[in-house]
């Protein structure tokens, strides 16, 4: 039976772990904050009598002690070119999401520039686009960032005849350019027009061109194939946020894990469920039934309000 001292010590560890987690931003990796799936799996594993014990924080704020060796299989690995299925499987027990706060966007285009730089895209090959939106002439305009929505019910994956486009267990939809035959069926199927076709030979250096291709980096790009936002899974595996998130000077883009109920823009870390409720988050054109993994916060309290461009009678 636990004594009062043990309970007090566990309470201190729990509170300390919670504070560190909320202040750490978006961190991914075994031994940081584990999703419920890993915890449930660990509970089914027979505990070893030897080895180092570690304390881990569950998604509901509980601290449990498990054998460190049990987590070895959950360690994140870089894209393994010797086992291509590794990129197709995704990161275990994760469900990634992006949240865009429209009120913070002023069309700085830094997200676009960084995305193109990281993926070696041509100037006209934009995976992230920013549109000026205005519902009616009586309503104020606003900027609307838009990329691939990594839908749970993705029509693009259904129509691909060679399984070049696929959805992973962590919710990310990727394109394998080694398998893509350029039929463009996925482009037609996507109701959001989130994909672009690589018509020309990429203008890239020999160093980039000679890299071994990986679906998680989308590098090097290949002509005659389809490209799109990939949520930067290579960055996620390094416990980093996607390029567009960190490039935004206004913190308009958040990224995180729905299972952990945490999203971050690099400077601010918040609960996904709380910000959705507090700011009436929504998904774009949800009536398509695609169940997008990207959410939007309405353009209220805009940091950079646009002028309503009404025509005046002369």
Strand partners, 108: none
Mean pLDDT, all residues of the chain: 81
Whether residue 45 is predicted with pLDDT greater than 50 in this model: the reply is no
Judge contact between 134 and 140, C-beta under 8 A.
Answer: yes
Lowest mean pLDDT among 45-59, 99-113, 124-138: 45-59
Whether residue 13 is predicted with pLDDT greater than 50 in this model: the reply is no
Percent of the chain with pLDDT over 90: 63
pLDDT band at 60 (very low <50, low <70, confident <90, very high): low
What does residue 111 show for φ and ψ, rounded to 5 degrees?
-65, -40
Nearest CA to 119 out of 18, 29, 20, 204 is that of 204
pLDDT score, position 285: 95
Nearest CA to 263 out of 300, 296, 290 is that of 296
- For 117-169, the pLDDT digits (tens) are 999 999 989 999 999 999 888 888 999 999 999 999 999 999 999 999 999 99
Mean pLDDT of all residues in 2-12: 50
- For 200-211, the pLDDT digits (tens) are 999 999 999 998
- For 184-199, the pLDDT digits (tens) are 999 999 999 999 999 9
pLDDT score, position 310: 46
Go through the domains of the chain in sequence order and give each one's CATH number.
Answer: 4-74 (no CATH), 85-297 (3.30.70.20)
Strand partners, 197: 226
pTM of the model: 0.75
- HEC readout, the chain: CCCHHHHHHHHHHHHHHHHHHHHCCCCCCCCCECCHHHHHHHHCCCCCCCCCEEEEECCCCCEEEEEHHHHHHHCCCCCCCCCCHHHHHCCCCCCEEEEEEHHHCCCCCHHHHHHHHHHCCCCCCCCCEEEEECCCCCCCCEEEEECCCCCCCCHHHHHCCCCCEEECCCCCEEECCCCCCCCCHHHHHCCCCCCEECCCCCCCCHHHHCCCCECCCCECCCCCCEECCCCCHHHHHCCCCCHHHHHCCCCCEEEEECCCCEEECCCCEEEHHHHHHHCCCECCCHHHCCCCCEEEECCCCCCCCCCCCCCCCC
* Other Cβ atoms closer than 10 A to 112: 21
Distance, in Å, from the CA atom of 284 to the CA atom of 294, rounded to the nearest integer, reads 8
């Amino acid at each position: 039976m636990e004594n009062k001292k043990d309970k007090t010590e566990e309470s201190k560890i729990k509170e300390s772990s919670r504070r560190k987690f909320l202040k750490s931003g978006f961190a991914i990796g075994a031994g940081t904050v584990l999703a419920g799936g890993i915890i449930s799996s660990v509970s089914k594993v027979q505990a070893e009598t030897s080895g180092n014990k570690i304390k881990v924080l569950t998604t509901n704020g509980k601290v449990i002690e498990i054998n460190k060796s049990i987590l070895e299989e959950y360690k994140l690995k870089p894209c393994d070119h010797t086992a291509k299925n590794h990129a197709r499987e995704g990161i275990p027990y994760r469900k990634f999401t992006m949240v865009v706060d429209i009120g913070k966007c002023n069309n700085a285009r830094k997200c676009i520039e960084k995305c193109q730089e990281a993926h070696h895209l041509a100037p006209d090959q934009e995976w992230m686009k920013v549109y000026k939106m205005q519902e009616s002439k009586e309503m104020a305009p606003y900027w609307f960032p838009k990329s691939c929505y990594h839908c749970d019910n993705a029509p693009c994956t259904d129509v691909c005849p060679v399984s070049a486009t696929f959805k992973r267990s962590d919710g990310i939809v990727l394109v394998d350019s080694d398998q893509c035959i350029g039929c463009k069926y996925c482009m037609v199927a996507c109701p959001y027009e989130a994909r672009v076709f690589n018509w020309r030979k990429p203008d890239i250096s020999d160093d980039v061109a000679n890299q071994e291709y990986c679906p998680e980096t989308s590098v090097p790009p290949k002509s005659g194939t389809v490209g799109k936002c990939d949520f930067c899974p290579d960055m996620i595996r390094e416990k980093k946020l996607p390029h567009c998130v960190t490039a935004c000077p206004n913190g308009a883009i958040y990224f995180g894990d729905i299972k952990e109920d945490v999203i971050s823009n690099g400077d601010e870390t918040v609960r996904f469920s709380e910000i959705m409720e507090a700011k009436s988050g929504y998904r774009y054109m949800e009536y398509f039934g695609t169940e997008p993994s990207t959410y939007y916060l309405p353009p209220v309290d805009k940091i950079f309000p646009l002028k309503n461009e009404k025509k005046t009678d002369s």
